[in-house]
Structure 1
């Protein structure tokens, strides 16, 4: 369908005669006849008065016309050329947005899946540490294990002395065993300072077990892997949709 045929069709739908439409547009009937028979191309002003007189928007005028016909025959009309340029700009923006979104989805998917698979952020090896009790300032950090060597001067307590028995009872009374589980490997042992209003006290923690930690599966790592796979699929579908919606010329 041509431009003249489209607007002639609309005139007939409205049951308007050529003279009546020509008068409404402010042009000669003979010129309107040329326009309807595509023997002349209207100026932008005449074209605007033409479709407005027929109560048609610009997009309604062009809807039944082929894209190749519009681009090859009608771009000399300024309103049509502007509309096509705006459509092309919007087309390119939408296409670029879809490509960018799909690319970002895949770009984020790979590190997310890797972090979940390797448990880099949320480790799955859990360590158990045990502490015997409080340690006071100037005492050995291994006082509970090696209290028999804590005699002044570094000598051993005699195992049958009153001093030995008193020290043994003191250590027994001070025992306050505590256990903690952590995903942080703090070494075979470590000492931490505790808050105390009167004086400085410490606790030494010893890693338990001969397997150097046990594996505990954490759901968050599975979620990271699952979300990574979801983003990969989302990105691939985005590129597929871009090819479908915006085929290469």
Structure 2
């Protein structure tokens, strides 16, 4: 949007005629007409009158005017300072995003490295089974008939072998565990949890670089 179009829009929002707007801004109607038709640029004094009469928000105006139009208005002292601040902010914001992205990548890499401090270990897992609970004084090889009160088949996985058979005291008697097999299994690395925040931080860091690039 050009400055003249912006002025015309603000005047229309307030329901003023051009003579009324010129009177409120204390300028000639012919000059206001030139401004609205983008045939002239206001001086610092005229701009100040327009701001007071139209109650112009310079920040809001700078956000809707074309960049080329803002360059034309840089001769106005009040706008020059504002545009300089906006220019510095446009430089500082992507710089901060880049720093945040770099920090995220470094921390994410640290998490990934931490997750690999201790690799997975191979362990032998022993499988024991028990058919149910027998009386405490019953022989260990006592068989429990199907449907008997103590029948309660369970499976137990241990990483330490406790012999081919071992007993365990439980409520109502004892349970006999018989070794039925063994397997070699991989134990997950103890710091594997660090993979999730590490990957998330790296993705976030790359996202920061993309945002900073698009900001330019």
* Inter-CA distance 53–114: structure 2 relative to 1 (3 Å threshold): same
CA distance in 1, matches of 2:34, 2:20: 16
Q: Secondary structure at the match of 2:69?
A: helix
The answer to whether the 8 A contact 1:99-1:242 is kept is yes
TM-score by length of 2: 0.59
Q: For each residue in 1:125-146, what CA deviation from the matched residue of structure 2 results, as whole angstroms up to 9, or x when unmatched?
A: 9xxxxxxxxxxxxxxxxxxxxx
- 1:63, distance to aligned residue in structure 2 (A): 4.2
> Cα RMSD (Å) of the superposition?
2.8
- For 1:83-94, list aligned pairs within 5 A: 83-94=82-93
CA distance in 2, matches of 1:28, 1:240: 50
Q: Secondary structure at the match of 1:118?
A: coil
TM-score by length of 1: 0.52
Gaps in structure 1 of 5+ consecutive residues? 126-214
The answer to whether the 8 A contact 2:94-2:212 is kept is yes
Q: Are residues 1:243 and 2:213 paired?
A: yes
Bigger radius of gyration, 1 or 2? Answer: 1
- 1:218, distance to aligned residue in structure 2 (A): 5.2
Q: For each residue in 1:152-193, what CA deviation from the matched residue of structure 2 results, as whole angstroms up to 9, or x when unmatched?
A: xxxxxxxxxxxxxxxxxxxxxxxxxxxxxxxxxxxxxxxxxx
Aligned position for 1:223: 193
User: How many residues are aligned here?
Assistant: 153
| Structure 1: 4+ residue segments shifted above 4 A | 215-218
Gaps in structure 2 of 5+ consecutive residues? 123-185
CA distance in 2, matches of 1:103, 1:76: 39
Aligned position for 1:163: none
- 1:222, distance to aligned residue in structure 2 (A): 0.7
Which protein is richer in strand relative to its size? 2
CA distance in 2, matches of 1:96, 1:231: 18
